Structure 1
Amino acid sequence: MWFALGTFDDGGAAFPGLVVDDVVVDLRPHLGDGATVERLLQDWDATLAVLQDLAEEAAGLPSTALADLRVLAPFRPRQLLCAGANYFRHVRQIVASTLRNSGDERSEDDLQAEADRIAHARAATGTPFVFPGLPSAVTGPHDDIVLWGPGVQHDWELELGVVIGRHAHRIRPDEAMDVVAGYVIGNDISTRDVMNRSDLPMTDFIMSKSRPTFFPTGPYLVPREWVPDPRQLRLRLSVNGEVMQDDTVDDIIYGIEELISYASHAAVLGPGDLVLTGSPAGNAGHHGNRWLVPGDVIDAEITGLGRQRNRCIEPPVEADS
């Protein structure tokens, strides 16, 4: 029986809930008043067994319609690690649009050939690119996204998120799936025109990617048992009803196994960590620099993992932009 795990609000305190079909079972009566998704991830094997039993009994348990609850981010990651430049078509599009926007006067065919060369060079290195994000950027799957300044080139990046359920340090790729608890949807909002610092030869991922509300997550965590082949998942994102991203995970350069292994050699991974696998093709630069503006509505979904809908809004009047 399919089920998922999330965090919800019925107008009182937030609570962990078991999602079965279109209803939510409050887990506090079964797992204690102090239960949270973060705590449940600390002993994921035991938690999964309990959730499986409850899912089988769900029809006879008190529940609330999912539509009657506010859906929060399923959990607050302990560590947030993000893969960059990790889809072939995405890398080709980013390289081509960057060259074009910088005034490169080569023909479109030449630009595409250069982009293709760089995309395949990424795979030839054998080394993923992973950078940290701030968990404070995480927001709910239906919350507003505040388009903070400085910068105006706000972009979307729909991504498959991998939730870690066991401790892992310096593990091999063939061991990686054993530490995966499940999957979530993530949207890595990025402000492109503040990414590169003019005063330093550095990339500023905090200002460009980790501002509050810049990482809608959820609606829930789906155990990996319900996703037999992550590469077959389809990612689809639209802005105001216009499809911008529509691709499958199969276009990925470094798969989940390689990313987790690489990340575990850079850091000690543990329950509640979230590893983002990168964005597929179709970012704003590919769509004629169609950056996000206040009033835009983003709809995003990944096969079997639910849907997000977020409205983009102006920063508060008193905010220093």
Structure 2
Amino acid sequence: MADADVRIPVSPAGQVLCAGANYRRHLVQMRFAAERRHGSALSDDDLVAESTSFVEGLAERGLPFVFAGLPGALSGARDDVILHGPGVEHDWELELAVVIGRPAWRVSREHAMDHVAGYTISNDISTRDVMDRPNFPMTDFLATKVRPTFFPTGPYLVPRQFVADPYDLRITLKVNGETMQDESTADMIFGIDRLVEHASSLIELRPGDLLLTGSPAGNAAHHGGRWLRPGDVMEGSITGLGVQRNRCVAPPD
């Protein structure tokens, strides 16, 4: 079994959608860091409180943020991740991924889960130092997220009926054995039903499409800018969905 060729458990021709900023602790960390960069004079405790209040307000009044990925970036749960340039600040984002089972166009939140076939694991590799365009911060997702091999996915597609509670799963990402992300899906801001409702209000979802539900706290910047390097091994797991193990390698000459 160690030599098995573990393929992507969904069609590589399907659509890929990603929810951004969808975990409370992660968004608090992002808000805290952004305010510090912009010169906030608040104490750490006060800035955490302000950031937490901002996130809770978003959860109550905001809409999900969903952007498009590209299926050409998909790779398998045992494949190497090639750290293509430009940029060197390669980061991890382990996520619970929803697999669409029935066409969904403008479905209500109440009926959204009827269109979910099951769940798998995806790691949305992102190169942070090319994300900002001049005068347009955090806008260049094409340069940042969709290079070949940057979406390790799998190993399994677990049918929805075999996941008793998708909000009681543990997401864990280790790099060379060191835990970087370890969070419950209970920390989601917008649930799967809200994400499917919102995404289907904008585009038609089709069987086999992937909808990533967001990454929890613990990205590289939170660990002192410990970016991925050739030779690193990422091990990602989500309760009941298996384990993916991907080695990072330098791009070929």
TM-score by structure 1 length?
0.75
CA pair 101-267 structure 1, distance change in 2 beyond 3 A:
same
Work out whether residues 84 and 129 of structure 1, in 8 Å CA contact, stay in contact via their aligned partners in 2. Answer: yes
Number of the residue aligned with 1:67: 2
Q: What does residue range 108-127 of structure 1 map to in structure 2 within 5 Å? A: 108-127=44-63
Instruction: Write 1 or 2 for the structure with the bigger share of helix.
Output: 1
Q: Does 1:312 align with 2:232?
A: no
CA distance in 2, matches of 1:273, 1:260: 11
Q: Does 1:298 align with 2:234?
A: yes
Q: What does residue range 188-227 of structure 1 map to in structure 2 within 5 Å? A: 188-198=124-134, 200=136, 203-227=139-163
Work out whether residues 237 and 299 of structure 1, in 8 Å CA contact, stay in contact via their aligned partners in 2. Answer: yes
CA pair 100-239 structure 1, distance change in 2 beyond 3 A:
farther
Number of the residue aligned with 2:164: 228
Q: Structure 1: where are the runs of 5+ without partners?
A: 1-65
Work out whether residues 131 and 137 of structure 2, in 8 Å CA contact, stay in contact via their aligned partners in 1. Answer: no
Q: Which runs of 4+ in 1 moved over 6 A?
A: none
Work out whether residues 77 and 274 of structure 1, in 8 Å CA contact, stay in contact via their aligned partners in 2. Answer: no
1:280 aligned to 211, 216, 229, which one?
216
CA distance in 2, matches of 1:225, 1:315: 40
Number of the residue aligned with 1:145: 81
Residue correspondences, number: 252
After superposition, the CA RMSD in angstroms is 1.6
CA distance in 2, matches of 1:201, 1:89: 21
Work out whether residues 181 and 218 of structure 2, in 8 Å CA contact, stay in contact via their aligned partners in 1. Answer: yes
CA distance in 1, matches of 2:88, 2:53: 30
CA distance in 2, matches of 1:313, 1:106: 41
Query: Identity of counterpart residues, as a percentage?
Result: 59
Kindly provide the CA deviation profile for residues 113-153 of structure 1, in whole angstroms up to 9, marking residues without a partner as x. 23212222321223100000000000011111111111121
Q: Which amino acid in structure 1 is aligned with residue 249 of structure 2?
A: I
Number of the residue aligned with 2:23: 87
